[in-house]
Amino acid sequence: MAATKVLAIVLAGGEGKRLMPLTADRAKPAVPFGGIYRMVDFVLSNLVNGHYLKIVVLTQYKSHSLDRHITKTWRMSTLLGNYVAPVPAQQRLGPHWFAGSADAIYQSLNLITDDCPDIVIVFGADHIYRMDPGQMVRQHVATGAGVTVAGIRQPRSMSDQFGVIEVAEGSNRITAFREKPADPPGLPDSPDEIFASMGNYVFSTDVLIDAVTKDAADPDSKHDMGGNIIPMLVERGEAAVYDFRDNDVPGTTDRDRGYWRDVGTLDSFYDAHMDLISVHPVFNLYNHEWPIYTDHPPWPPAKFVHGYQGRVGRAVNSMVAPGVVVSGSLVENSVLSPGVTVHSYAHVDGTVLMGGVQVGRHAVVRNAIVDKNVVIPEGAQIGVDLDRDRERFTVSDGGIVVIGKGQKVDP
C-alpha cells in the first residue's frame, strides 16, 4: 500500500494587532519567544518532529523577518524533495491580498495541485504547544472524515473566549461549531467542559479544495477557516474532532502534558513566558525527545560577573540565553534573550528582555516586556509607577509595561 502523501500549510499571515507594539515591525509569528525562538518555530518543530517534511508557510503582513528566519533556519534535505517554504501573497487570482485564512488557501491552491497530497494539514503559526500531528492524521484517516479539528478541553465558563466545538454523544462527530458562545452545552462525557478549537485542522484534499472554492464564490463570507469553512463542513456532516488530551508526545511530563496557549494578547504572551521559568515548568523547553528547533547567531556563553560587596551578578528562577552578561546585578523570574546586558546594581524582575536590550546601572525593570535593542538608561524605573509608564509606553490590561523595538526610554 502506498504511503499517505501529506502537505502541511502553516497560516502565518495575520496582523497581530493585539500584540502591538511587538508587531509594529514584524509579523506575529516572527515575534521572539522564550529567549532564542520565534513563535513560528513551535508549529514547525511539531510538524518536523512528526515527520511531515513538506511544509509551506503562507505569509502576508510585514513578513521580511519571518521569511528570513524560515529561509535561514528551516532547511530540509532536498534529496527526498523535502522543504519548508515561505510563500507570500502573490495575487494569483486578481489584484487583491488575502481576505482571510480560507482565501489564503484558495489563492494558493497551486501549492496543493502541484504536490498532489492525499491529506492537507492546516495549522496556525502563533500558538505555543507541543503536539504530535501524526496521531491526529491517523485518526482522520481511520474515521473517513472530511476535516478533523483539534479541540482542547477548557472550562465551560470560558466558552466566550473560544470557537466552541459541540459533539455528538458517543462519537467524535461535530454537530455544531460556534464562535464564542455565552452558554453552550458541556461535553457529553464532562458537562463542565467544552472543546475549544485550537485552530489546527486536517483535511482530505478533495474536501478542502471543494470547500474553499465554494467559499470564494460567496460574497457574504468572511473567508475564514474557523468562521466559514468548518461550519460549512459541519453542516455537511463531514467534520470530526480530535481530542488534544489523547495526544501523547514523547518526553512530556505530567505537569506540561496537554499544554497549549494562544499568545494573541500581550498578557497571554507574558504569561506564556512565566510558564517557562518555574522549577517544574508549566511548559518544559527541556524535552529533548521532542525538541523545539531554531537558529541564532554564534553567541558566546552567558556570563555572570562581579561577586563582592553587594555587587554580585546573579539570576534566579530565570532563563538566560547565550550572549547575555549579568554584571553585578540581580535578575529574577525573567527571560533574557541573546545579547542582553544588565549592568551593576540594576534589578530586573518578572520581565522579558529581547535581543540586545541594555539595562543601565541602578535601573529597575519590573513586570515588563522590552523589545529588541532598547536601552534602559541609568537609574530608570520601569513597572514601578504605572501611571507614568502609561504616558510613555503601552501598558496591558494586566499591568504589564511593553516597550517597543528600539524605543527611546528617558531616565
Q: What is the pLDDT of residue 1?
A: 39
Q: Supply 297's cell numbers.
A: 547567531
Measured CA to CA in angstroms, residue 319 lies from 42, 266, 275, 286, 350 at distances of 18, 19, 11, 12, 11
Q: Report whether 73 contacts 55 (CB < 8 A).
A: no
Q: What is the pLDDT of residue 318?
A: 96
Q: Where in the chain is the domain with CATH 2.160.10.10?
A: 303-403
Please give the model's pTM, rounded to 2 decimal places: 0.94
Q: Where in the chain is the domain with CATH 3.90.550.10?
A: 6-272
Q: Annotated binding site for alpha-D-glucose 1-phosphate, which residues?
A: 163, 179-180, 197
* Residues in the chain, pLDDT under 70: 1-2, 91-95, 97
Q: What is the CATH T-level fold of the domain 303-403, as seen in this structure?
A: UDP N-Acetylglucosamine Acyltransferase; domain 1 (2.160.10)
What are the counts of helices (DSSP H) followed by strands (DSSP E) for the chain? 9, 29
Q: Give the list of residues 6+ apart from residue 300 with CB closer than 8 angstroms, or none.
A: 322, 323
Q: What is the pLDDT of residue 2?
A: 52
Q: How far apart are CA 19 and CA 102, in angstroms?
A: 23
**In the CATH scheme, what architecture does the domain 6-272 have?**
Alpha-Beta Complex (3.90)
Write the pLDDT tens digit of every residue in 169-206.
888 999 999 988 888 899 998 999 999 999 999 999 99
SS3 207: helix
Within 244-397, residue ranges assigned H as helices are 266-274, 386-392
Q: How far apart are CA 70 and CA 57, in angstroms?
A: 9
